Amino acid sequence: MARSNGRDGKGRTEPKGSALYEVLKGIDFEKRELLRKPKGIGLFDLVKDRDGSYRCYACTLCERACPVDCIEIDYCPEFGELPFDIEAERTAAKAAQPEIDTKLFDAVVARIREGSGLIEAFHTTQESYGYLPRKALEDIAAEMHMPFSRVFGVASFYSQFRLEPVGRHVISVCVGTACHVAGAPLIAEAFAQELDIPVGGTTPDLLFTLQTVNCIGACALAPAVRLGEDETYGRVTPQEARKLVRTLRKKEA
């Protein structure tokens, strides 16, 4: 909505747009007109990069996702099509995946052939690797004759399944009501500072992963911390949190 801000030489108020409009005024756009659309509807802008090239490469996603069907993308001969080598992309994606021990996957295959379902396969895989490697998800999809997209969709839906490698020591800080009131945020902050990673992160040496959980069943010991799946520490203070990290580092050294 326009608003008044200052007057011109004749004493008339000059309209001024919103703050966002003032920012966008300085951006270099090219205006395109859409084909076979009513006047006033078919205009959209292409944002230029600093080198003068256009950032839009006509992927047509906006056209497909438009809720009122007012976008239509047409090929413009003055801009060449960007090359896309699907085999090169697949090779690059495969190279980016960390190496895994395929022998550990035998237990997963055995469970699947015994009749276990997809979730059971995920649990067995995570017990073997500590997380769900992409290669393992691809093999699960092949073994269960399912599309990989469906397998990945289920794996990414549930928060208990990890899609990235985790550290050897997984530190879980309880942030349930009892622990939160007892100072759990300070405990999580102390761990994060000592490990130099955010909550949810993993140290570069893959030694520690820091996460928060809603409850570990130790409300009487609040604030509580779990190390791995077996060790639970109660009434933890920020100093004790830092000391625990240093002790574990010394053991690994």
Task: Give pLDDT tens digits for 41-66.
Answer: 545 555 666 776 666 656 677 777 77
Q: What is the pLDDT of residue 87?
A: 77
Could you read off the pLDDT of 190-202 as tens digits, one per residue? 999 999 999 888 9
Q: Where in the chain is the domain with CATH 3.40.30.10?
A: 169-252
Q: What is the pLDDT of residue 2?
A: 41
Could you read off the pLDDT of 89-101 as tens digits, one per residue? 777 777 767 777 8
**Percent above pLDDT 90 for the chain:** 34
Strands 208-213 vs 169-174: parallel, antiparallel or unpaired:
parallel
Q: What is the pLDDT of residue 207?
A: 92
Q: What is the pLDDT of residue 229?
A: 82
Residue 31 · residue 41 · CB < 8 Å: no
DSSP string, 190-213: HHHHHHTS-TT-B-TTS-EEEEEE
- What rounded mean pLDDT belongs to the chain? 79
Spell out the residues 6+ positions from residue 105 whose beta carbon is closer than 8 angstroms to its own. Answer: 125, 128, 136, 139
CATH class for the domain made up of 169-252: alpha beta
Spatial distance between the Cα atoms of 135 and 249, rounded to a whole number of angstroms = 31
Q: What is the pLDDT of residue 238?
A: 93
Please state the rounded mean pLDDT for residues 14-32: 54
State yes or no: pLDDT of 233 exceeds 90. yes
Spatial distance between the Cα atoms of 45 and 2, rounded to a whole number of angstroms = 21
Helix (H) or strand (E) holding 127, with range, is: helix 118-129
- Answer whether 0.75 is exceeded by the pTM: no
Please count the helices (runs of H) and the strands (runs of E) in the chain.
10, 8
Query: Any idea which of 30-44, 139-153, 170-184, 237-251 has the lowest mean pLDDT?
Result: 30-44
Residue 203 · residue 197 · CB < 8 Å: yes
CA angle at 173 for the pair 131 and 223, rounded to the nearest 5°: 160
Q: What is the pLDDT of residue 253?
A: 79
Could you read off the pLDDT of 141-150 as tens digits, one per residue? 999 999 988 8
Q: What is the pLDDT of residue 115?
A: 85
Is the dihedral angle over the CA atoms 193, 199, 204, 206 positive or is it negative?
positive
Q: What is the pLDDT of residue 162?
A: 86
Q: What is the pLDDT of residue 46?
A: 59
- Which of 135 and 26 is assigned the larger pLDDT? 135
Helix (H) or strand (E) holding 181, with range, is: helix 177-181
Residues in the chain: 253
Q: What is the pLDDT of residue 191?
A: 94
Q: What is the pLDDT of residue 3?
A: 44
SS3 category, 121: helix
- Tell me, letter by letter, the H, E, C secondary structure of 41-86: CCEEEEEECCCCCECCCCCCHHHHHCCCCCCCCCCCCCCCCCCCCH
Q: At what angle do helices 118-129 and 106-113 cross, to 10 degrees?
A: 160
